Amino acid sequence: MPLRPIILAAILPGVLAGCADAPDFPAGAAANAPFPKILPVSEIQAQVETQPGDDGIDALAARAADLRRRADALRGTAVVDDETEDQLQDALDPS
């Protein structure tokens, strides 16, 4: 196996990364800030206040009913005209 492609594959990513702009690191107090504490999802969810209710349920149900009505109207309708259908069938014929 030629050695040149291997060397090129090893060096090229470093050369390309060197062409990128330097990242914008924070300065001052933000540079010395502690890392954020990682919490389990269950603790985060426990902190969120939820109010029982049907917020948006009626609107969502109406939208779902409208989409079902539109889907029923589209069922059984032709997607293409007869001429295009014939052309498609001719293209699929193996003869």
Instruction: Give per-residue pLDDT as tens, 8-64.
Output: 788 888 888 777 777 777 777 777 888 889 999 999 988 888 777 767 788 899 999
CB-CB contact of 83 with 90 (8 Å): no
Instruction: Give per-residue pLDDT as tens, 50-72.
Output: 777 767 788 899 999 999 999 99
CA distance 21 to 73: 54
% the chain with pLDDT above 90: 28
Per DSSP, helices labelled H in 21-81 are: 41-47, 57-74
pTM of this structure: 0.33
Both tokens assigned to 76 = 């059984």
CB-CB contact of 88 with 80 (8 Å): yes
